[in-house]
Amino acid sequence: MSRWEDLTRSACVMPLVALRHVPSFIRSLTLGRGRKRSPYSIIRLAVSSVVVIFFVYYLFVHLPQPVHYSSPLRAPSLLADPICLIRQTGWSLGYMIKRDKSPCSEVFMRHVVTKDLVERGWEKRTLGAYRAEEAKEGEGRHPILTGECFEKEDCPVVWVSMGSRCSKGFNRLAANLQSAGIPLAIIGYPDRWKGFGHRIRLYHDYLLTLPDDSLVILSDGDDVIFARCDIKEVEEAYKRLNTSVVFTAEPYCWPYTSIWSQYPEVPPPPPTSAGHRSGSRYLNAGTVIGTAAALREFLAHSYNKGGSECADDQGAFTYTFLERLELLGGDKNNPNWQKMGVTLDYYQDIFMSLQATVMADLKVDVRAGRVRNRLTGGNACILHQNGNKDESQILEALVERLGVNNW
């Protein structure tokens, strides 16, 4: 069924369902005034109210959204995925009730990549056909989209993050990367949050605009910082790992805790490592680096496996990672990383998960603006505080000590 057929059927069905409940809704409001309501009337009022509110949301929030392009990753009909639709409704209502108080910084807004810009980049792919004013419009924000990377061999690393709203942490990351001279593309703003599966699809569609061999970092926006590094250090560390896609490694198996034993054991540290052990065995979806082509393929497979806009991205990535380990013949205790094409950054050469980390585990060089993990020996440039932020404020402490709170 096409997108328009789906929307047409939805537009016809939803009013009928809602209209059926309107009389009950009105009667529940008007009858029984001044006297005690029966449990039945209370339940009827609640059900009728939910259906009417749901219809109003669907009519004014879901249907009017323009379809800018037809993604190769076909989103399932929300009518066929009612749980996701209910969750999206809750997210939208929650967003309207409790908006983030942080205003968008000028730097944040300068890096926003609109749907129209992604659409033009996708349809043309070779962006030499862009008019001069279009290239100037994006100048200094995302050189991939302005065609610069099609004209030179040494294409810069591009950082991509998805955000539906501004926050203190996201504003900080944008300023952080601008200071480091790293091109940043913020996608998904200002659309409402639709779920992690939807984020997978947005990432995939944006990557369609990039040359296959472009090196891309995908990350969360609120809880990630870039230490005072040269981006060349990240590129060199990526090359040393000799694979196509590298995810952050974290100490907890999430969200499917029961499959922890299916993960490969942590490999021994490389000879060049200054550390002696790593307690991070499991994939974390908050930060990943890879070529545009490899990431696209990994994201597409994970999205189709998750099967929903509301699917958990870390869960989908986990199953894709473990599936490749099995299909490509790697033994879980001695996997062939190069053949798999995807690995985890166990010894924190690129990414450092701060979950379950305390300051005593870290050596902070304030003058150099770097953080080293005493256990793994990792001197990662990209720090990510995943997990419960109420239990630990270690990222905020590092922000102050490293002097990157400059937004």
Looking at the structure, do residues 8 and 126 belong to the same domain, yes or no? Answer: no
Looking at the structure, do residues 70 and 140 belong to the same domain, yes or no? Answer: no
Looking at the structure, do residues 14 and 145 belong to the same domain, yes or no? Answer: no
Tell me which residue has tokens 């952050």: 248
Looking at the structure, do residues 89 and 116 belong to the same domain, yes or no? Answer: no
> What pTM does this model have?
0.79
Q: CB-based contacts of 27: which residues, under 8 Å, 6+ apart?
A: none
What pLDDT shows up at residue 212? 87
The CA distances from residue 239 to 232, 242, 339, 350, 378, in Å, are 11, 5, 15, 11, 16
Strand order across the 382-384 sheet: 224-226, 382-384, 351-353
Last residue of a domain, one of 64, 97, 130: 97
Looking at the structure, do residues 191 and 239 belong to the same domain, yes or no? Answer: yes
Looking at the structure, do residues 93 and 223 belong to the same domain, yes or no? Answer: no
Tokens of 324: 């490749």
In a domain, 103, yes or no: no
Looking at the structure, do residues 51 and 137 belong to the same domain, yes or no? Answer: no
Last residue of a domain, one of 97, 121, 156: 97
**Long-range pairs, 112-115, Cβ under 8 A, ≥24:** 112/186, 112/189, 113/138, 113/141, 113/142, 113/145, 113/185, 113/186, 113/187, 113/206, 115/68, 115/69
Looking at the structure, do residues 302 and 344 belong to the same domain, yes or no? Answer: yes
Last residue of a domain, one of 97, 118, 135: 97
The Cα–Cα gap between 363 and 381 comes to: 14
Domain that holds residue 259: 109-402
In a domain, 328, yes or no: yes
In a domain, 92, yes or no: yes
Among 236, 357, 368, smallest CA distance to 289 is for: 236
What pLDDT shows up at residue 210? 86
State the amino acid at position 301 in one-letter form: H
Looking at the structure, do residues 88 and 140 belong to the same domain, yes or no? Answer: no
What pLDDT shows up at residue 15? 46
For residue 80, the cross-strand partners are none
Looking at the structure, do residues 19 and 49 belong to the same domain, yes or no? Answer: yes
Looking at the structure, do residues 76 and 119 belong to the same domain, yes or no? Answer: no
pLDDT tens, the chain, 407 aa long: 333 334 334 444 444 444 555 555 555 555 555 556 677 767 766 776 666 666 565 555 444 444 445 677 888 777 778 889 888 888 877 777 766 568 999 999 999 998 877 777 666 554 443 333 443 444 444 444 444 454 445 667 999 999 998 999 999 999 999 999 999 999 999 888 999 999 999 999 999 888 888 999 999 999 999 999 999 999 999 999 999 999 999 999 999 999 999 999 999 987 766 667 889 999 999 999 999 999 999 999 999 988 889 999 999 999 999 988 765 555 555 554 445 689 999 999 999 999 999 999 999 999 989 999 999 999 999 999 998 887 788 999 999 999 887 65
Dihedral, CA of residue 204, residue 209, residue 215 and residue 216, to nearest 10: -40
Total domain count, the chain: 2
Looking at the structure, do residues 92 and 115 belong to the same domain, yes or no? Answer: no
